[in-house]
Chains A and B, each alone.
Chain A
Amino acid sequence: MSALSMSGALNRALADALEADDRVLVFGEDVGPLGGVFRITDGLAARFGDRRVFDTPLAESGIVGTAIGMAMNGMRPVVEMQFDAFAYPAFEQITSHLAKMRNRTRGKVEVPVVIRIPYGGGIGGVEHHCDSSEAYYTHTSGLRVVTPGTPQDAYDLLRDAIDSPDPVIFLEPKRRYWSKGEVTPGADRVGFDRAVVRRPGRDVTLIAYGPMVATALETAEAATEEGWDVEVVDLRSLSPFDDETVCASVRRTGRAVVVHEASGFGGYGAEVVARVTERCFHHLHAPVLRVTGFDIPYPPPKLEEHHLPGVDRILDAIGRLQWDDEVVGAGRGA
């Protein structure tokens, strides 16, 4: 066990996977000698050689298509998209080939490709460097979509992703790359499809993932001052969705707030709210609320702290969960 940053944990996971399995390949723009923009592939080309870790041209569609072609022949490519919005040129390959191949071949052809995408804001970047693009992928059947909230999960989920026979969109919360935590590489893994309760609490369930896990935990601490005992659920796997863990928590607490950086309208949180409401309706004391980015293109750096959900906005939402037994739908807007 050692303290690693999330970027260090990802680097370690890639190195261990390359070491463990000759079929694992790492490629993408500037992932070789440079080690990637965020240095996640640092040192890998030197250690494993440029047959296994290599630079590509600027060609996202080509990169993903190439990965699919290799994966169909038994290899396990892990490709990097430099930033969230630079993955969009590859969208056709992802949605029409990567996601559909197994179904199209009636299960005969597996496509174990992992697409690593640094996503989300909080680093003072602009537009296409800060997109929360998860809903584009979760809406596409046939893809697994996962996102770690801690360094240990960064390691575990990436190893799970590479081991998985399915295509995986691996979303890396770039603002948490430098957050440190204890990482035990060979530890028992939670399970690829599972959400986890990061902090138990009795009064309300905060449902978060990726970059918002740390924010949710911070909020839970702050909430104790208001007398609220907050449970934090880290989804980890956005698709498939772990109904069991999430609903068990909400049935216990009777209240839930979903938090994400992405805009609310048509966002991933809408799906979470719907599922929780459908499954836990009779346990709920209040409507399930969302705290999200605003419905705007990602704002300029000086405004991002207002756009991104923070402790205050989440506490405010918790405060609106009808604590004095008001009747749901009695005219007070959620």
Chain B
Amino acid sequence: MGTLSDEDVELLVGIRHFELALLRVFGEGKVNGTTHTCLGQEYVPVALAPLLDGDFVLSNHRGHGHYLAQFRDPAGLLAEITGRAGAVCSGVGGSQHVHRDGFLSTGVQGQSLPLAVGMGLHYKRTGANRVAAAYIGDGTWGEGAVYEALNMASLWRVPVLVVVEHNGIAQSTPTTRQLAGTIGDRVRAFGVDFTEITTHDIPAIRSELAPVVDRVRHEHRPAVVQFTTRRLGPHSKGDDTRTAEEVEALRAADWHAELAAALGARFHAIDERVRTEVDRVVAEVQARPPSQWADLVEAGVVR
């Protein structure tokens, strides 16, 4: 791995500890509904964060890392997921429906892409120099809305960046059983730029993608970036259909051990500090009263 700032490492392990803590809290029955963790995929939004500063991020069901990378707000997100005071959306959205200036997630697969096109089109027309970036999984390439959006994005030259987290599986269905051909070929057929990232070396990813994002932003050339990545956890909770060996092989290729080995004492010092901080946030948020619509009133959102 190239050199990473302390801040990058903090964010990386921060997302990891957040997700692990969330699974614990879930196990204690304190999360309503379901939740999907991004364990193994944390480096994707961390790598992209400085490239998308001030841009609009559309996220999906596996969006905690996307949010944390943009806003570094574990307390607000955890409060949202567990319905506590100070929740980003007063607990109305939960894990999959977070809205904040510059951020929107939805759990309905594929439907965010047309929104991204609309946002990008507006940014282009108003000279905003802004990118609409949408995260989707490999399985979501089954949805028709994805292709409607790609067509319009290319036809109208819209500053849209689609980030594909290709973890080789959709819920229980391996990519080989749900996707014909390749995502790259599909994307290129629309005349849209396609970049494939197979490493988790964050500085290398950034230098490769900086010109791609620049072209989206300044030349209004939509692009799709595919990360070959790993889902280490279950799809949501306790629903992993993969064999133990399969998951073990994914774990062996995880960024975490590699980074720990590369950074040694520096990593462990940061890791320890961040873990303690996440634990503190979890305890603090759980002690808060339930979130209320009144939070929205105070925030001036609702009268």
Contacts and interface: CB of A to CB of B under 8 A. Distances in A.
A107 B241 CA distance: 44
Contact of B83 (A37, A85, A128, A300): A300
B173 A300 contact: no
A11 to B, nearest CB: 17
Contact of B145 (A32, A89, A126): A89
A58 B107 contact: no
A86 interface: yes
Given A59-B144, A125-B33, A34 B93 contact: no
A158 to B, nearest CB: 23
A61 B147 CA distance: 13
Interface in A3-18: none
A126 B178 contact: no
B282 interface: no
B144 A89 contact: yes
Contacts of A34: 171-173, 239, 241
A126 B241 contact: no
A22 interface: no
Contacts of A32: 172-173
B151 interface: no
B92 A299 contact: yes
B143 A55 contact: no
B140 interface: yes
Contacts, number: 94
A30 interface: yes
Determine the interface band of chain B, counting residues with CB < 8 A from chain A.
Answer: 20 to 34
Contacts of A185: none
A231 to B, nearest CB: 35
A61 B144 contact: yes
A37 B239 CA distance: 9
A88 B108 CA distance: 10
Contacts of B33: 123-126, 129, 301
A171 B178 CA distance: 26
Instruction: Give the secondary structure class of B's interface.
Output: loop
Contacts of A30: 170-173
Given A86-B108, A127-B107, A57 B178 contact: yes
A61 B171 CA distance: 19
Interface string B75-118: 00000000100000001111111000000000111110000000
A165 interface: no
A55 B142 contact: no
Contact of B97 (A33, A89, A126, A299): A126
A127 B107 CA distance: 9
B93 A126 contact: yes
A55 B173 contact: yes
A240 B83 CA distance: 41
A29 interface: yes
Interface string A59-92: 1111000000000000000000000011011000
Contacts of B171: 29-30, 34, 37
Instruction: Give the secondary structure class of A's interface.
Output: loop
Contact of A301 (B83, B173, B179): B83
Nearest to B89: A300
Given A33-B172, A34-B239, A300 B32 contact: yes
A127 B99 CA distance: 14
A302 interface: yes
Nearest to B236: A37
A103 interface: no
A62 B179 CA distance: 13
B120 interface: no
Contacts of B172: 30, 32-34, 55
A41 to B, nearest CB: 11
B62 to A, nearest CB: 14
Contacts of A141: none
A91 to B, nearest CB: 12
Given A30-B171, A30-B173, A33-B241, A58 B142 contact: yes
A296 to B, nearest CB: 10
A89 B114 CA distance: 13
Interface of B: 32-34, 83, 91-97, 107-111, 139-145, 170-173, 177-179, 239, 241, 290
Interface of A: 29-30, 32-34, 37, 55-62, 85-86, 88-89, 123-129, 299-302
The 5 closest A-B pairs by CB, nearest first: A301-B32, A57-B142, A34-B172, A124-B32, A58-B142
Given A124-B32, A302-B91, 19 more contacts: A29-B171, A32-B173, A56-B142, A57-B142, A57-B178, A59-B143, A59-B144, A61-B144, A62-B144, A89-B143, A89-B144, A124-B33, A127-B93, A127-B96, A129-B34, A300-B83, A300-B93, A301-B83, A302-B32
